[in-house]
Amino acid sequence: MTQTEATTIFEEEILNGLKARNKFLSSKYFYDARGDELFQQIMKLDEYYLTRKEHEIFTTHKEAILQSIYDGETFRIIELGAGDGSKTKILLKHFLKQGIDFTYTPVDISGNVLEILETNLKAEMPDLKMESFQGDYFDALAQISTNPEKDVVFFLGSTIGNFTEEEAIGFMSKLRGFLKPSDMLFLGVDLKKDPSIILNAYNDHEGVTKEFNLNLLDRINDELEANFERDQFQHYPYYNPHTGECRSYLISKVEQEVVVAGEKIHFRAWEAIFMEISKKYDAVQLEELAEKSGFKPLNGFHDQESWFADILWEKEK
């Protein structure tokens, strides 16, 4: 996709969301250069336990993970939404140290974060075979999925949580369509726990998550000649322990009109823009997700408190 095509799609999707009856913006657009930087800050926050827990799982279980994936044949890891790869590199380093022959293919919509990832991994692991791909998950898979070797698709960091249950089933089923019978999926999922711990992860006291959300308004101002005033919006996350969904909103504090790409968008006082969903699962829901999207669970790894899980699935035959 050319830059002009990407800009047109960005404009269409942003306007579509802002003109909807219940306004929304897609969280995939959080990740411009500033958004990448803010997400890296979020991952270091005390309240954002997700990164710490997945880091613990990889550090503790790296050999068992390798044993579950590796059958003696060379394979390829495709990582969807790789980000800065700070946790994945624990596994990559371990696999290399054990003399395993594999290729690493990180995919991310953000060219900026991929460049950071490539630079770091090349410096830290000069022997790593790496072919990165910038773009949307399925555009990438469509272009790289013809590979005779086994593919293990990594989808970590609870990024699956950015979908509702129904969307996740649709996403996983579509992903399954790109896999060969021996291929595997390694999925990082956040689990249900004390609701206040979950809510705090999206409402940190330093306000970095708030900034991460407001940054999308700044991005729209810069790229679509818009005039959002960030002070006129309030960050509001809300966790529903029933559905396991933590939903973040930006709420217009006043009645106002904002111009975006030449179009006037009207906000009533206290009208919300839905920004992001971060869904939490329990064991039963995960089994259902696997079954409904055509996967068979093979193995699972947890942190000590069972707050987070990295699970390995194969394509149901």
Ligand X SMILES: C[S@@+](CC[C@H](N)C(=O)[O-])C[C@H]1O[C@@H](n2cnc3c(N)ncnc32)[C@H](O)[C@@H]1O
Residue 110 found at the interface with ligand X (CB under 6 A)? yes
Q: How far, CA to CA in Å, does 114 sit from each of 131, 232, 278? A: 11, 33, 23
What is the spatial distance between Cα 84 and Cα 33, in angstroms, rounded to a whole number?
12
Give the count of residues interacting with ligand X (CB under 6 A).
17
113 versus 290: smaller Cβ distance to ligand X? 113
Between strands 263-267 and 256-260, the pairing is antiparallel
- How far is Cα 21 from Cα 39, in angstroms, rounded to an integer? 29
What phi and psi values does residue 163 have, to the nearest 5 degrees? -115, 150
- Out of 157, 186, 280, 314, the only residue in the binding site for ligand X (CB under 6 A) is 157
| CB < 8 Å & 24+ apart, contacts of 265-270 | 265/18, 265/19, 267/23
Nearest approach in angstroms of CB 153 to ligand X is 12
Residue nearest to ligand X (CB): 157
Binder among 38, 109, 179, 220 for ligand X (CB under 6 A) = 109
For ligand X, what does the binding mask look like between residues 164 and 203, x meaning CB under 6 A? ----------------------------------------
- Binding ligand X (rule: CB under 6 A), the pick from 49, 58, 75, 137 is 137
CB of 103 to ligand X, least distance (A): 18
Contacts for 37 with CB less than 8 Å, ≥ 6 apart: none
Q: What is the number of other CB atoms lying within 10 angstroms of the CB of residue 67?
A: 12
Which 64-103 positions form the footprint of ligand X (CB under 6 A)? 81-83, 87
Is residue 156 close enough to count as binding ligand X by CB under 6 A?
Answer: yes
Task: Tell me, letter by letter, the H, E, C secondary structure of 19-74.
Answer: HCCCCECCHHHHCCHHHHHHHHHHHCCCCCHHHHHHHHHHHHHHHHHHHHHCCCCC
| Selected binder of ligand X within 25, 113, 201, 208 (CB under 6 A) | 113
Cβ distance to ligand X smaller for residue 75 or 186: 186
- Check: CB of residue 274 under 8 Å from CB of residue 250: no
What's the token pair of residue 256?
């106002």
Q: Cβ 60 to ligand X, closest distance in Å?
A: 17
Least distance from C-beta 295 to ligand X, angstroms? 19
- Binding-site member from 159, 215, 252, 285 for ligand X (CB under 6 A): 159
CB of 100 to ligand X, least distance (A): 21
- List residues near ligand X by CB under 6 A: 28, 31, 39, 81-83, 87, 107-110, 113, 136-137, 156-157, 159
